[in-house]
Amino acid sequence: MRERAEPLPPPLSDTERGAKGEAVSFRTRPGSDCDTMHGRNRVDLSATRAHPRGCSITPKEVLEVRDREDTEAGPLYRFLAGDHARLDGFLRQAAARPGVIDRAAYAQFRAGLLKHIGMEEKILLPEVQRRRGGEPLPIAAKLRLDHGAIAALLVPSPTHAIVAALRSILEGHNAIEEGPGGLYEECEKIVGADVDELVARLRGAPEVPVAVHADSPKVRAATRRALQRAGFDDEAARLFPSGDEP
Ligand SMILES: [Fe+2]
Ligand SMILES: [Fe+2]
């Protein structure tokens, strides 16, 4: 695989940045080398200020793909996938230094993610269910279980192990929502011409009250159960080994 010799991509515009200017993710071309290498069809240019070393796709190609996808993606996708990228940035910043958690960055991640989950649980999924005559999307149950596990992981004080579990769960979860034929695409199809109105409602979603962290044995046991309910048995066993709960 050749080394990239192209210049760095141009500075990101305001619309490409998160609220604090941190994370921006760009989709790579499906089936490209980079896609295969990263296994998630997404590359974060803000982390490295360049396309990751060793990928054969060039920054120019990434930007072209981004431009095309920005044009093709609907407003619902752009808003919610953009929020994923913004939150990814906070999480990365929170655990950037070994052995230390940046509590300020983690607090922004935590509050932002709880709000994001609230948008999906209280606005997006119910709206789509209503338009399907009361029938939830088949994927809704799985997403709700994921949300429960994610929210439970936000209760204990953050550690690098918890951040790693969150990253792993969010990687799969966000792919289900953002992927081709995923939740966001499906929702855009269902709401059709009313998509702008729905995005406006999502934008107006309230902040979610955030409680202080809790680390009691009861909380740890509840978090372990929430992970297991959602099928994250490995994460549950790693974070809360047997006998750890009361
Ligand atoms: Fe979600
Ligand atoms: Fe989401």
Mean pLDDT for each 10-residue chunk of the chain (246 residues)? 34 33 38 38 36 39 43 89 98 97 98 98 98 97 98 98 98 96 96 98 95 95 97 96 60
Contact 102, 177 (CB under 8 A): no
Question: How far, in Å, is the centroid of ligand 2 from the Cα of 117?
Answer: 7
The number of angstroms, rounded, from the C-alpha of 145 to the middle of its chain's C-alpha atoms is 15
* pLDDT for 244: 56
* pLDDT for 196: 97
Question: How far, in Å, is the centroid of ligand 1 from the Cα of 244?
Answer: 28
Across the chain, how many H-helices and E-strands are there? 12, 2
* pLDDT for 72: 72
Nearest CA to 170 among 74, 69, 49, 89?
89
Q: How far apart are CA 2 and CA 176, in angstroms?
A: 32
Query: Where do the DSSP E strands lie in the chain?
Result: 25-27, 42-44
Question: How far, in Å, is the centroid of ligand 1 from the Cα of 117?
Answer: 6
* pLDDT for 56: 38
* pLDDT for 177: 98
* pLDDT for 121: 97
Q: How far apart are CA 88 and CA 202, in angstroms?
A: 19
pTM exceeds 0.85, yes or no: no
Question: How far, in Å, is the centroid of ligand 1 from the Cα of 225?
Answer: 19
